[in-house]
Amino acid sequence: MPARQQKYIYPTIIAIALAVAPLFAPRYFISLLAIVFSWIILAVSWHFFCGSTKYISLGSAAFFGTGFYITALFGKSLPIFTVILLGGVISFLLSFCIGLVTLRLKGMYFAIFTYGLSELLKNTLIWLETVVWGTPGRFVVNLDIEFIYYIMLVLVFVVNAFFYLLRRTRFGYALKAIGESEDTAEHVGINTTIYKTIGFSLSSLFMGVVGSILVTRWTYVDPRMGFSGLYSFMPAIMTIFGGIESKYGPILGAVILSLLSEILLTGFKEYYMVILGAVLLFFVVLLPKGLYSILEKISQKFSQRGG
């Protein structure tokens, strides 16, 4: 078989297996997979912008939460696909406006700003809910878990393919050039502001979509859930754990860490954050290139021995 076709065999098998999984797998397993998928989308989206430009955003929760709350607000009055689309589009527009004014902030300032932004949105919503509207939270429309599962499955493939292709365009290379050296990129004629803003908004778009779908798992939500710091930190942690330099890094990190979180949260709730912190610490200090770099080394060794 030609090597070109061989490349597509495993993804196809995995896709088919995942597509038929709800027919025989238990419901718990399906809902677990849906969560893993949503973390993959968040991590891959985060990685697309932050991995190529090296602008570390700690505000993913702002966009996840925007989608999350759009569904909470309109999920009962509008058709669900409209709401999901709305969640994505509004996250996109929000991050576009934010990007235009803030992406001149560099390094530390950008990280602090994005974190502050998601906290600002959270606190504004908390204030609106408790003081102006007089409810601590609201009931949301519920979707069938199999439905969520299929949307997430499709999205995982769409998001990965989208960012994979985007990376190979002029646009993707421009972002990478910005990450290598922003001054040089500007000198060779890249309009860095526009490229950064659009890159940032595209990654936020999918975070908003994930948020607007995932919210339907709960029956009652408040702003603290959607804008939880977990959604800001986890995409970054997962990507760094998996390996920020590889396109498989965020996927690997999201799968392992979200499964680990699930196990820890059901069995050892109070140790969850301690272990998560320890894992992150270990990887940042001792293996800054992430898990994928080790796998790569091992596979290289095997192929050398074989050849």
Partner 1 sequence: MFPSLFFEVLIGGLVLGLLYSLVSAGLNLQYGVTRILNVAHGEFLMLGAYTTYFLFILFGVNPLISLLVSGLVSLILMLALYSGIFRIIIKRSSSIEELEMETLLTCFALSFIFQNTAVILFSANERGYIYASQLISIAGIPFALNRIIVAIASSVINFVIYAFMRFSRVGTALRAMVSEPIGAKLVGINASRMYMLSLLLGCILSAWAGSLISMMFAITPFIGSNYLMIALVATVVGGLGSFIGGIISGIIMGYAVYITMRVISPSLTSLVLYIVLILILLLKPRGLFKR
Contact footprint for partner 1 (CB under 8 A): 54, 56, 101-102, 105, 107-109, 111-113, 116-117, 119-120, 123-124, 126-127, 130-131, 233, 236-237, 240, 270-274, 276-278, 280-281, 284-285, 288
Closest CB 43 distance from partner 1, rounded Å: 15
Instruction: Specify the 3-state DSSP secondary structure of 307.
Output: coil
Phi-psi region at 54: left, alpha or beta (left = phi > 0; alpha = psi -120 to 50)? left
Closest CB 102 distance from partner 1, rounded Å: 7
Residue closer to partner 1, measured from CB, 123 or 300: 123
Burial of 107 by CB count in 10 Å (0-12 exposed, 13-18 middle, 19+ buried)?
Answer: exposed
C-alpha torsion angle, residues 225, 279, 52, 212 (rounded to 10)? -20
Residue closer to partner 1, measured from CB, 86 or 240: 240
Residue closer to partner 1, measured from CB, 19 or 281: 281
Closest CB 147 distance from partner 1, rounded Å: 34
Instruction: Specify the 3-state DSSP secondary structure of 139.
Output: strand
The residues pairing with 138 across neighbouring beta strands, listed in sequence order, are 221
Residue closer to partner 1, measured from CB, 121 or 152: 121
Structure token digits, residue 279:
């894992």
Residue closer to partner 1, measured from CB, 54 or 167: 54
Closest CB 119 distance from partner 1, rounded Å: 5
Residue closer to partner 1, measured from CB, 119 or 146: 119
Distance CA 100, CA 194 (A): 8
- By the 8 A CB rule, do 247 and 80 touch? no
Closest CB 67 distance from partner 1, rounded Å: 20
Distance of CA 236 to the CA centre of its chain: 9
Closest CB 272 distance from partner 1, rounded Å: 8
Residue closer to partner 1, measured from CB, 66 or 71: 66
Closest CB 239 distance from partner 1, rounded Å: 11
- By the 8 A CB rule, do 243 and 283 touch? no
In order of 139, 144, 172, 173, the CA distances from 163 in angstroms are 34, 28, 9, 12
Query: Can you point out the beta strands (E) in the chain?
Result: 138-139, 220-221
Closest CB 40 distance from partner 1, rounded Å: 20
φ/ψ (deg, to 5) at 259: -65, -45
Cα first-last separation, the chain:
19
Residue closer to partner 1, measured from CB, 96 or 157: 96
Which residue, chain included where needed, has tokens 């390094």?
A: 107
